Every structure is written in structure tokens, then in C-alpha cells.
A and B are shown apart, each in its own frame.
Chain A
């Protein structure tokens, strides 16, 4: 039975037991059980594809204006129509995916790391760390979040990096609180006590016992805030903060198209708005699917 040779790092932490199905069959089962999850994963794949290859497959240059073709409705050539400068809206929507997606991913990753760590530490150790994290979160929550984000971008300057930072800051309380609550209930769990008996230091306990076990709930949180982050970035651009025209970005495009709706050119604002809606919708649905996928209890 001894399958490991002596030299090898003896302990194999396998991702799944031999008797349990692989990740792929598991994913198929999850999707079959809940078709909505399948839809969300499908949309997600589409968004990732557009973000990766958008600029390559776009039929027109998103920045090239062509005044002879200005303000045309959807046609066979220009699927989503053209804007006031004759730019192809389909190409612009496609190319904008990468920017919006990057902002969302970067800000969520940032807040996951900072908020999650702060929350877990607060929940696990309690005391003054808990008080400090709690009050910081309360202070952020005391502002209307969008106004706070506007203030941060206005103060730090109009750039993509600052949009990411602002979006991360306004999401901080959500992450810190969820992580705190989850760490707090597990602080005295049997397996944590057992690991303490095994001589693990408190920080090691936190990282090996607590953090992996709150990942499912954090993943759901990430998925939900992804949609919110995209919306927030687009909102900032819409009111003129953040990304500047002529960069293709959904928020700016909606803002530019808004003034043409009254005169009947609905497509300029509609299609970027639709893209925004689909992205947010997708991330919200994805939350449940992600939880089902990475929760070990579901793998029976």
C-alpha cells in the first residue's frame, strides 16, 4: 500500500478522493441540476472571450470615425449601428469589454485581498483589530457609496487605476464583514481546536484552517460584487469621471448616446447598455454556481 517513495514530499493533499467525481463531471452535474447556472457560465465564457479577443475580431477600428456613415441604425454591415462620428458601435462594445472586465477583476481582486484579510483577522483575533476594522467599515458605509467613489476619483485623479482603487474601497465593508462573520463562527470549531492541539501557531491556523473554509462564501461575494464593480466603473465614466472619451467604454458610450435617444437614435445608448446589463446579470447568477462548484459538501 505504500505508494510514496521516501524522498517525495510525503503528504499528498489531493484535490479529490479517488471515489469522488472529477471537477468536470461535477461541473456538468451542477449545471444539469440548475440550468440557470449553465446560462451564467455560458455568458461568462462569452464575456471572457470578448475581453481576450475583442480587439482582434472587431470588424472595424473602434476609434476610426467615418462621417458619411454617421448615425445609421443597425444594418448588415454595422450590426449595432453607428454613432454621431460614424464609429461602428458593435466594434466599440466588443473592444470595451476588455477595459470594463479588467477594472472589475482588478478591483475585486484588490478588495478580496485587503477586505478579506482584514475581516478574517478581525473575526479570528477579535479585540482591538476587530474594533479597528469594524469602525473603518462603518465609516465607509456612512457615505453614499457612489458619491464616495466620485470623491475618491476626483481627488486622486482621472485614471483607470484610480477607478479600480475607488471601486475596491467602496466594496471593502462588504468583504470585511462577510469574512469577519465567517471567521468568527469558525474560531472555536472543533477542527480549529484540533489544529491548535497539533501545535499550529495562531497565524498558521488562520491561513490553513479558517481561510480555505470561507473561500466558498467569499467566491460568491466576489461574483456578486463583480457585477457591481462593472456598474460602478460605467457609472463613474457616465458622469465624466474615470475613463475619457474617445476610449471605448460602456459607461461613456451610454452617456454619449443618451442625448440622441430623444431624436430617435436609440441604438447608440441601447447596445452598450445591453452589454452592461448582460455582464451584471451574468455575474449575479454566477454566484450560486460558483458556490455549488467549490463547496466540498456538494461533491457526494
Chain B
């Protein structure tokens, strides 16, 4: 090892005072970061990886405190440093990039001025060169036309651009250590690749050290020199990036690696070894039933939104011509067979969510046909669709399990909600019994049925959402990124659950996702969308193995190399 590391965390323990007594979030951990080294801290939610970085920056919230241990950063003890001195170090020696770049920027200040603020704070520049330096900083993070962008406000920039600005802010004072806390979580894969490539290039160029905090093993494998795996506040394994993925030593690391979707694996492979059920159901084995009339046939579906009304609306009031509307979905056609899973893939803004909302009949299409079991559903307006008998046959599982549950309903009440409108009770069965049966089907412990959403974990909330969707025994379920908000190990379980339910209940899935690996595992066929249009569709194995359209190729290439393929 390097003789004296830039940062040496020893025995660090962080505690939080809560209503139920003290909770130890980080338990006596040791982490070293050498000069010029990139260390990834990997773990699932609640593992204490973010708390560690907050402790390092000394920005824990009021309830949290560093109970013991030391953090030596180039000879300085950070754990007991007075706040005033700490303020001097932040931004100049230690910098941090946060998860949500939009939230990290002041929305009403020009980005150039925000960079100047940091430079002035640390008295690195005078007022005269500040603008010059800020433009330089923007140019350094590869922002095109930096002079122009200097005057831009955060809302005028895309998510990836905002993250670049945040990186520019973090690096403006040439710190020695950069902490990136889930820097690419909200970003598309291609943007993620661009941002991460930029970060690793800049840190290497400047011989900086960095700590990459992530839940994504693939990302850690691709960009870190060394990987620290954390579980429930403990460091369970520390090793070089190469060795840890080739020969993982700790059981938890192995479990994480198994649960990460990767090319060439089956859905059952994601589950931990000991729980693998004896009923393997590889997607490919299914007899293709596509010869029959498809369940859902979408033809020339178009959704237009009026352009943002600024000056336009006033002009149109005065009799001027209204602007061309924006086409979110541009004449797409596809079908979903009975018992089939079809994946709808694309990056944000490609129209996949709009499409799924139209198929779910939550919004009206501008034109086109949505034929479901032989009936054109676009004839029934979305507002009146609730009363239609078709409502019960098309259901949806939402992306964010927290947002999709009413905070004032118990789990049982949430599951029962569809049953109250469409009574599907078997003879002599009470609502409670039906809820319990559904909970059993999705593997939700029955004693959790009387809890409120905030008392449930993410995986449990996802199960409630799934139970609600299958309550009416629908023919088609639209899955809108059902696992995007979940940890990989939970994702593995939920994906398997969905697959089992599909076979048991004979449903069809329209699976909307940005994650090609997940879609590849779940779906028979794939539809790739970009800019409101379908660029490629076909058998999922074929598309993943040899994508024909260049956009699909770029998408596949941008996924960070998963550990197993190393």
C-alpha cells in the first residue's frame, strides 16, 4: 500500500439520535484513500455509505454525530476540527458532488455566477478575473460554448449538463479529494457514461483522489481502483476492483454480484444460491402464442402537447397562429400477444412513459388506435374509462412505490381499493380474506397489512403496489420501471415475483424501463424508442446480441461493464 494515504478513516462511528434511541449508522469503519486513487463505496440503501461521506464533509444533520474515530486528511484531523476551519477546507480541499444536480444548483442564479461564488469564497480570484476563471471551469468540464452558457440558468440545461456544472463547481478550486455521492443516479445511461468518463478523466489529469459512492456494482467496477463494500454500517470487504469481482470473498459481496443483472444470465440466477426455487422459467422456453390475435394492438399512436405557453399564448389570443405542437409520441405501432412480455426501452424524453399512460388509458391519445382484445379503446375518453369494464383488465405498477401509495391508507386498504370498485370477491369471501390472499401471492407478510406506507420498506411497498395491480386479475399489466427505486437484491426478488405471477395468472406485461439488462431478462420482445419514435423492435435476445440501429448499439455500449464480464 501507499505509505501515507491522503485520507485515513479509522474506527469511524456515526450515531443518530432518534425517537427510539440511538441508531448507529456507521460502525467503527476503516477506509484509506491513497493519492490519485479512486475508491468506490458500494452498498445498498441503509448501508451507511452516504452517511460516511457526510461525516467526512462534516455535514451530518443535527441528529447525527461522530461518536468516535478519526479521519486524517493530509495530516489534519477532520473529526474534531472546528466548524470555521472546516468551512475553509470544504470546496477547496474536499469537494462533493450530489445525487440530484438540479437540487444542488441555485435555480435563480446564473451558473457562471455560482461558479464565481465558490472561487471568491476561497479568495482564489479577484473580481476581474472571476468571469474568465468561471468560463475556463465550464470549458474544463467539456461544456460547449462556455461563454454563452455562463449566462444560462439551471433550468435551461439538461440533467447531464447540470451535473457537469456541479462538477465544475466541485473542481473549481482544485481540491485534492472529490466525493461523488451517486453522481449519475437520475441520469440516462448514455449521459451516465459521459459524466463518469469526464470525472475519471479530470481526476486523473489533476492527480486527484476520489470517492465514488454508488449502489451500482457495474459502475464501481468500471471506474474505481479499489472497492469498499458496506453492509448495515459495516465494511464487509475491501479489495482491488479487479480482484473483488473475480474472487469476491464475503457472502454479501457475492449476493450483490449475483443480484446485478448482466448479459447471459437468467432471471433465477439473480436470487441468492440458497433460495433458488426449483421451477426455472426461462423466458425463451415459453411456447410462442403470438400466432393468435394479439391482446393489444397499437396503431399509429400519436400524442401531441401544445408548446409551452409563454408569448405564444398571448399571440394566439390576439388571433396569431399558434405554434406547432410538440409530438411526444409520433405514430408508433406495436402489439403485445397474450401471455407475452414486451419491453419498452429508451432514455428520458423518448415517449415511453407517455405511451404507457396512453395504453393504460390515463391520458387520451391525439390520434391512432389502441385495440385491446378487439375493441378500440381510444373511443372511450380517459375521463370516462374508469366506468368501463375494460378498466379492470388493464392495470399498472408504478415506478416509485412510495409515491404510488396514498400515505393515509394502510397496505390492506391500498390493495382493496380496486376491489371496492370492481367487486371480484369469490363466494363467501370477505374483503380481508381476499387482501390476505393477494398479500400471500406477492409474498407480503400478513402482519404488515395494517401498516402505513411509511412503515414499510421499499421492497414491501413494491409488493403492495403489485398486489393492488393483480387484485382485479387483469389481462395486461403495464410495469413502469417497477424496480427503478429498489436495491439490486430487492430488484432481483421483485423481478422473479413478477415473472412467477405472470405465469400463474396468465397475464401480459408491457415492461417500461431504461435498463436493457433488466428488460432482456424479463421480456420476450423489445421495442426501442427514441424521440417519440420506435427505432428498433424484435426478439429481445436478438436485439441485445446484435443490435441493428446505432442508437440501440450506443445504449448497450453505455452500460457500465458488469462485474462478471471482467
Contacts and interface: CB of A to CB of B under 8 A. Distances in A.
A20 interface: yes
Contacts of A201: 386-387
B155 interface: no
A19 B431 contact: no
B404 A194 contact: yes
A8 B149 CA distance: 65
Nearest to A198: B418
A192 to B, nearest CB: 8
Interface stretch (B200-208, B288-296, B407-415): B407-415
Interface string B371-387: 00000000000010011
Given A10-B432, A193-B398, A199 B450 contact: no
Given A19-B455, A201-B386, A11 B407 contact: no
A190 B433 contact: no
Interface of A is mostly: loop
B433 A2 contact: yes
A297 interface: yes
Interface residues of B, number: 51
Given A4-B430, A209-B406, A197 B436 contact: no
A300 B407 CA distance: 13
B396 A13 contact: no
Nearest to B417: A198
Given A13-B413, A201-B387, A300 B454 contact: yes
A199 B422 contact: yes
Contact of A193 (B362, B414, B447): B362
Interface string B342-371: 000000000000000000101000000000
B562 interface: no
Given A3-B432, A11-B432, A202-B383, A194 B396 contact: yes
Task: Give the interface centre of A10, A12, A189, A299 by most chain B CB atoms within 10 Å.
Answer: A10
Given A190-B398, A194-B398, A213-B408, A296 B391 contact: no
A13 B406 CA distance: 13
A197 B430 contact: no
7 contacts: A2-B432, A2-B436, A190-B398, A197-B360, A202-B386, A299-B454, A300-B454
Interface of A: 1-6, 8, 10-14, 16-20, 29, 189-191, 193-202, 209, 212-213, 296-297, 299-300
Interface of B: 19, 360, 362, 383, 386-387, 391-392, 394-396, 398-400, 403-410, 412-414, 416-418, 420-422, 428-436, 446-447, 450-452, 454-455, 465, 468-469, 472
A-B residue pairs, 10 tightest by C-beta: A10-B431, A190-B404, A198-B418, A199-B421, A190-B403, A10-B430, A4-B432, A17-B451, A191-B406, A10-B432
